Structure 1
Amino acid sequence: MEAITRTEFNFPGQVSVYHGKVRDVYNIQNKFLVMVVTDRISAFDVVLPKGIPYKGQVLNQIATKFLDATSDIVPNWKIGSPDPMVTVGHFCEPFKVEMVVRGYLTGHAWREYKAGKRTLCGVPLPEGMREHQKFPKPIITPTTKADEGHDEDISREEIIAKGLVSEEEYNLLEKDSLELFERGTQMAEKMGLILVDTKYEFGKKDGKIYLIDEIHTPDSSRYFYKDGYQERFEKGEDQRQLSKEFVREWLMANGFQGKEGQKVPEMTPEFVEEVSERYIELFEKITGDKFQRSSNDNILERIESNVVNFLKTI
């Protein structure tokens, strides 16, 4: 199995390319973006040394499904998906914040809570909560959108005070985020899953707000299996989850949390294959569709051909 960890395309009309942690984003004439979802994997804001076969396809196809399923709530950037690993969409000016919606006290929020914090991003947290407990209602805990390094927690008040987003627009982002989370929750529930938390990114084009990037994928979201959730919670046991958290837990168990001086543990072929299978499992669990493994022959040539042909049509 070949993993695509780097692309260096030169598409017609290309003015720039941005290599993110996972995505390579090609700017076409400042009008369109070609987003190639690679097989890179990041944790603790560090890109790990080995790629995960089929991960890019999984993320791209889940995001495509959810973008289509939520376009009635807020317009999104997607125009089409000409390749299993690619989405082409509108060029939008991104807001400098990510909208993180949490339905449960899990992950980063739990680590902060366990350390004694009772406020997260300006949102008060109830006393006496336990790990994986459902919040009375979903909360929004935004982060700054860092070009490099770690995203930082930030409050609604700080975002508005710093002029990152106007108050009027921030209110719209909150409203859209909660509605998207509710839709994602309903879709997950039909598949026997719980959407635990997720993040959304937004941008502007011609004065209009668009949902951009990916949504409801295992890189941007955390899912629990609904079956057994309550029993495990009552016993204080770990939840069965479909997310990238198991990769973070493996890294932490092997002495890595992205801190200075720490070394990424060796990713064995067995571990890489396990991660790949977990991503495929999530695809099938959340979409209800059978995952069709795309051909591993000449992937880069396939992507280039599909994108060039699609760009001629828009």
Structure 2
Amino acid sequence: MQALRETQLTFDPPAERYGGKVRDVYRRGDRLLMVASDRISSFDHVLPRAIPHKGQILNQIAAHFLEATRDICPNWLEANPDPNVATGKACTPIPIEMVIRGFLVGHAWREYQTGRRTLCGVPLPDGLREADAFAEPIITPATKAEEGHDEDISREEILSRGIVSERVYAQLEDYTRRLFSRGTAMAAARGLLLVDTKYEFGLLDGEVYLIDEIHTPDSSRYFYAEGYAERQQQGAHQKQLSKEFVREWLMDHDFRGLEGQIMPEMPDDFVASVTQRYTELYERITGKSFVPADTTDIVARIQANLAGTEWTPVTP
């Protein structure tokens, strides 16, 4: 299987290109095209090897949930002309990730272990164990860094820095809680617990829009609901579908994204296992069978599928 590392598409009229950690983004005026590559990132670093079919899976999961939440808030997506491509409205991104957590895991757990009892201005009670559920979901925003690590930030800091107005931030919090509630219900119907996730928003004509992806394994964690209580009672690790196992593999190989650390090379069998885990999550969360697209020449396939659209590429 071939993997899509990056694209360098050209258009007439030309489009501005921006390469994110995972997506290649093309913008022309008020129009946007996103290519979900097969790159994978962890600890805010892009890993050396790409994961076959990962981009298609992320793109199609995101489309599934964006369509299922249009009644909650407007979003940027208009079409998916290729399994790895999404097109829609170009919004002005708000430089905040709205992270919402239903359970104490990942970054929050690592902070809790150090003795911290406040995260992004939210107080945390004593006596919690890893993977315990919060009494109610907590919102722990992070700054959206163009390079390097995102940083935790509180509601008060967001407002004092003037990143957004109080009115806009109240809208972000409202959308975040409602989207998480919908995602939780959809996960429960599939035998999963939506553990935590992040949402990104933008502004278009003064209105807040949901942008980027939602409820994918790159932006979310899921536990299997069956056996959760028993595992928690026994102090056992929770069975989960997320990207956390990639982080754990990196940590087992002495990499946490810190200065001076050398990123390990992923062997073929581990790369194949990542594809398998992403495929499993796609099928579990959507209830659909995954149909892998032809990967013989992914860029040529994308160009062919874009032909005749407003994003017809200029081929050499």
TM-score (norm 2): 0.97
Is 1:224 aligned to residue 223 of structure 2?
yes
Name 1:276's counterpart in structure 2. 275
Where in structure 2 are the equivalents of 1:20-169 lying within 5 Å?
20-28=20-28, 30-169=29-168
Q: CA deviation at 1:11?
A: 2.2
RMSD: 1.0
Name the aligned partner's letter for residue 25 of structure 1. Answer: V
Q: Which residue of 1 aligns with 2:285?
A: 286
Displacement after TM superposition at 1:306 (Å)? 1.7
**Corresponding position of 2:6:** 6
1:146-197 deviations in Å (ceiling 9; x for gaps): 0111000000000010010111110000000000000000000000000000
Q: What is the rounded CA distance, in whole Å, between the counterparts of 1:89 and 1:247 in structure 2?
A: 31
Partner letter of residue 95 of structure 1?
I
**How much has 1:312 moved relative to structure 2?**
6.3
- How far residue 309 of structure 1 moved from its aligned partner, in angstroms, is 2.6
Structure 2: how far apart are the matches of 1:98 and 1:11?
30
| SS of match in other structure, 1:148 | coil
How far 1:124 moved relative to its partner? 0.4
Give 3-state SS (helix, strand or coil) of 2:145's partner.
coil
Asked if the contact 2:222/2:242 (under 8 Å) is kept, the reply is yes
Aligned-residue offset at 1:142:
0.1
Shift in Å at residue 72 of structure 1?
A: 0.4
C-alpha distance in 2, partners of 1:185/1:88? 26
The answer to whether the 8 Å contact 1:14/1:26 transfers is: no
Where does residue 204 of structure 1 map in the other structure? 203
In the aligned structure 1, how far is the partner of 2:98 from the partner of 2:265?
33
How many percent identity over aligned positions? 59
Structure 1, unaligned stretches of length 5 or more?
none
What is the alpha-carbon distance in structure 1 between the residues aligned to residue 4 and residue 233 of structure 2?
42
The alignment covers a number of residue pairs equal to: 312
Q: Which consecutive segments of 4 or more residues in structure 1 shift more than 4 A?
A: none
Task: Pick closer, same or farther for the CA change 1:299–1:312 going to 2, 3 Å.
Answer: closer
SS in 2 for 1:25: strand
